Amino acid sequence: MENPRQAALERPSVQDILVEGLSDWVDIGFARQYVHDEVGEVPAVELREQTLEVIGHLLDAGLVVAGDVWNGFTPWPLDPEAAVARIRAEWDEPAAELLPGDVCWFQITEAGTALARRIKPER
């Protein structure tokens, strides 16, 4: 039987976010675009939910942290569930354009960096 957590981490959008995180912080708009690239054309509400699901998996696995960028990255002092709830609340219009700095940023952790480095040679 397949491990659901492992299956989630093998999603192309999860891998894209991690690889992007090797070179820079990842904004919510990039995360949404990577999910869009994976799932294709879906209603904006579904795309937001899929993106939040991907973000939740990354946060739960300890591969990224959410935060703000003000003279460097400042992580939110929130557990993964609270971080996803905050993102959902601040991203209240699913179809809205997301510009860098809107809602939040993601920084990969040491564990995320190690996984991304194993993924990157395959790409």
73-75 sheet: strands from edge to edge: 26-27, 105-108, 64-69, 73-75
What does the pLDDT read at residue 101? 85
Furthest CA-CA distance within the chain: 46
What are the 10-residue block averages of pLDDT along the chain, 123 residues in total? 63 94 95 96 96 95 95 95 96 91 95 92 55
> In this structure, what DSSP letter does residue 2 have?
-
What does the pLDDT read at residue 120? 78
> In this structure, what DSSP letter does residue 30 have?
H
φ, ψ for residue 85 (rounded to 5)?
Answer: -65, -40
φ, ψ for residue 35 (rounded to 5)?
Answer: -65, -40
What does the pLDDT read at residue 8? 73
What does the pLDDT read at residue 2? 53
Q: For residues 115 and 47, give the distance between their C-alpha atoms in angstroms, rounded to a whole number.
A: 25
CATH code of the domain occupying 4-122: 1.10.3510
The neighbour count for residue 77, using CB atoms within 10 Å, is 8
Domain range summary for the chain, segments of one domain joined by +: 4-122
